[in-house]
Amino acid sequence: MTAHPIRSRVVALMQALQSEICDALESIEAKQGSTARFGRDSWSRPGGGGGLSRVIADGAFLERGGVNVSEVHGELDPAFAGSLPGSGPQFFATGVSLVLHPQNPHVPTVHANFRHIQRGPVAWFGGGADLTPYYYDADDRDRFRQVWKNVCERHHGIADYEAYAAHCDRYFYLPHRQERRGVGGIFFDNLEIGADREHAERVFAFVKDAGQAFLSSYLPIVERHLDTPWTAEQKAWQELRRGRYVEFNLLYDRGTVFGLRTNGRTESILMSLPPTVRWSYCFEPQAGSREAELLEVLRTPVGSSAT
């Protein structure tokens, strides 16, 4: 399989995004008086490639966070290959993936990933970012979405914000709960780059812009809520909602499935799971509470004006 000409630049971008994001998050920890920092854990994949996992835990800001980069290649499991574009057994994949679980229940969890995959002659990008709050704040939702809308509009003809936002709402959905995981963002997949160099450059420019926009989408939300006092009851609610996060990642998340089905590193794949979680039998929050408000938003049917 001949590497797409853009591959080396994509790998460099993913590595640069990892460093930039970790540095910014560590800066917040330092401002909070925390000594927590991201570790560096290099790993190799049997069959080809490897990556660098950077995980932080027990900080003043982040209870756990992971920002991973991988660059893997080899042969696909024939049973899995049929679910991917392209042809033949050979594949290459690189990307950056992050999940941040804050200590404070008033600060949302956030996820983002940007990836490049090639199978045979077909190469494409996918990724996005989504926000998972524990207490609903319309301003946070709107500001987060606006950043991604601005990115897409800067790359008109390549990116389609309305389609990507709708895809995000449909994708991050738990059908067995009839709930969305969070309040949206963007999600795109199978954004092919083809052999046309000009088109490939335009797609790469969009993905680069999106990756570099992550911090501006999330850090203002962190700053708004990081010092908000919280109670033990609010922490318990956060842990209950984290259970929904675990359910989605283990049952539906394509990145988790891709990593496990291509013999990726299990510890790095599952770093997205929060450290403390709870499930309560048939729990429903008190009517009119802020907890109930969140559920009302998340249970609103996808595509309604309220979303």
| Closest CA relative to residue 4, chosen from 191, 159, 193 | 193
Q: How far apart are CA 266 and CA 191, in angstroms?
A: 27
Burial-class residue 122 by CB neighbours within 10 Å (0-12, 13-18, 19+): middle
C-alpha 78: how far from chain center: 27
Phi/psi of residue 264, each to 5°?
A: -70, 175
| Closest CA relative to residue 114, chosen from 185, 216, 210, 8 | 210
In terms of DSSP H, where are the helices of the chain?
7-31, 78-81, 138-154, 161-171, 197-225, 232-251, 254-261, 266-269, 290-298
In the residue annotation, 111 being an active-site residue is answered as yes
Residue of 4, 101, 106, 111 marked active site: 111
Contact 212, 17 (CB under 8 A): yes
| Closest CA relative to residue 242, chosen from 206, 272, 202 | 272
The helix or strand, by DSSP H or E, that contains position 210, with its residue range, turns out to be helix 197-225
HSE-CB at 78 with a 13 A cutoff on CA atoms is 0
Contact 21, 212 (CB under 8 A): no
> Could you give the residue numbers annotated as active site?
111
